[in-house]
Structure 1
């Protein structure tokens, strides 16, 4: 999918600022969300600009694997990228589980509310009241 020339230009300029370490509208982290924020567009629009994103990731990889970055640091960067992916996956799973729990609990609350209303209506229909007497008390 493609984007307008204006969006393409905004993304390219934002990418250049981020990679130069001179962000104007974001925290400067090298993510698609930050790129979109820096360009002043939605994340969905940024994802439609596949060619710009490909260049963005390519330039990020070049930075982290250049000759001025020691091999151990490159390995650490790759390891951290893997940990970040795993943390995001785990967070997504947790959010999905929590949403399912909320749905289940909402259904149970609704069922209990309906039961409570039914029992209150049944109690209201019963016209007889039984008075329980304690020792030493007589109806008067």
Structure 2
């Protein structure tokens, strides 16, 4: 049955109002921003929308495409799907980079282990070489004569002190020894040859 002009105008207004709601993000439960939901919101069948109101269907699809191109997603579910898809792509790229970095670190770890093993082998070789040297003997490093004894001290008195015993002092007496020590001190401070005590004994 053919529609009257008044019915056609009412139907067209319902379709345009439904288009505006869907593009504004007012998606009904269980619906989407698509032709099927548009026909249901306008109160007509999808076949009628395609057959009778095809120009409004085309207008709806063009406006929806323009909204998508502008970065606006009228359907919250589609927007959420788009966000999740973008997040999945970013996480996939990050996982690939992490896998690459892990392989690089693994190769570097193996290289460092090889270097460490080589250094350890070198250390063991040096220890073996050091073990072949003879141990120092007890007489090494104990003095110039090799026996740990210092060279004998020089004679304490020189022959310049001979004949300086006081008169009447026999050799070996206390007075003779005292005179010898006094003479020793004088010669020590005067820089002369030091007398030997044996000359007064």
**Shared fold by TM > 0.5?**
no
What TM-score results when the alignment is normalised by the length of structure 1? 0.42
What TM-score results when the alignment is normalised by the length of structure 2? 0.30
* Structure with the bigger percentage of helix: 1
